[in-house]
Structure 1
Amino acid sequence: MTDAAQIADRYIAVWNETDPARRRTLLADGWTKNATYVDPLAAGEGHEQIGALIGAVQERFPGFRFALSGGVDGYGDKIRFSWALGPENEPDMIKGTDVALVEGERLKSVIGFLDKVPAGA
C-alpha cells in the first residue's frame, strides 16, 4: 500500500533542498527515472530537468520554503496534497495543490495547480 503522506513529505523535501547534489539524490530515491512534472509555469521530464526546475524556483524565490498545507489524500496509484510557499514571516504567500501518480513509493508524474499567486510573483 502506498504511504501518501510519506511520499508528499519527500516531495516537499526535494523542493526545499538547496544543495544540487543532495537534491539529485532525493530525486533518484523518490522519483522514477522518467518522472514528469508540469504546472502552469513550468515543465520537466527526468531527474535532471526536474532538478533544474526546482533550482530555478529557488533562485527566483531565495529563502522561501515549501510546507504541506492540510492533509494528504491517496488511493490506488494517486495522491493529492496542498502546499504553501513563502518566507518565514509569510509562509503562505504562494499556495498550490498537486496531484501525482506513483509507482510503488516513487513519484511517476506530478501535475501542479497554483491556487494563490500574488501579482508579480
Structure 2
Amino acid sequence: MESPSSLANRYVAVWNESDAERRKSQIADLWIPQGRHYVGDREFEGYDALETRVREAHEKNVRDNANRFRAADDARRVHDVVVFHWEMLPASGETILARGLEFLVVDGSGRIVADYQFFPA
C-alpha cells in the first residue's frame, strides 16, 4: 500500500500540473471513476467534474497567479482515511499564502473515494 506522504504528494501534484492530458491521467490514477470532491458547499463527482474542478483551480492559482501547491510533511493514515495539510506558495518563493486540510477516504487499493477540502475562509 502506498504511503500517506506519497499519496499526498501525488494529490498536490495534480493541482500543479499544467498539461491537460497528464492532469487527466493523474486524476484517473488518484480517484475512482465515481470519486467525489467536496469544497465548501460545492460537490464534484466523476472524472469530468473532477477535471473541471482541478483545471479551474490550476488556472486561477497556478497559471494566472503564479503560485504552486505542496503537501506539508504531516500526512497520516488510519484505516481508510488519509489526512494532510497542503500549502500554497509563490512559484519562486517560500512564503505560505494559504494552508488547508485534505481529508481523503480511500478504497482498498488507495484510490480516492471521497475528498473533503478545508481551508480558511
Q: Give TM-score scaled by structure 2 length.
A: 0.86
Deviation of 1:2 (Å): 5.0
After TM superposition, give the deviation of residue 91 of structure 1 in Å. 4.2
Partner of 2:24: 24
2:103 to 99, 102, 119: 99
- Equivalent positions of 1:13-92 (< 5 A) are 13-40=13-40, 42-61=42-61, 62=64, 63-87=66-90, 88-89=92-93, 91-92=95-96
- The one-letter amino acid of 2:31's match is W
Rate the CA distance shift 1:28–1:60 in 2: closer, same or farther, 3 A: same
* Greater strand fraction, Structure 1 or Structure 2: 1
Q: Check if 1:110 corresponds to 2:78.
A: no
Q: CA RMSD in A?
A: 1.7
Following TM superposition, the consecutive aligned residue runs of length 4 or more in structure 1 with deviations greater than 4 angstroms are none
Aligned to 1:70, what secondary structure does the other structure show? coil
Q: Gaps spanning 5+ residues in structure 2: where?
A: none
Do the aligned partners of 1:80 and 1:98 also contact (CA within 8 Å) in 2? yes
Q: Distance in 2 between matches of 1:47 and 1:91?
A: 32
CA contact (8 A) 2:36 2:46 kept: yes
Question: Partner amino acid for 2:36?
Answer: T
- Are 2:5 and 2:73, in contact at CA under 8 Å, matched by a contact in 1? no
Q: Could you tell me how far apart the structure 2 residues matched to 1:41 and 1:94 are?
A: 19
Partners in 1 of 2:32 and 2:115 — Cα distance? 11
After TM superposition, the score normalised by the length of structure 1 is: 0.86
d(CA) in 1 for partners of 2:96, 2:47: 27
Preserved CA contact (<8 Å) 2:85 2:100: yes
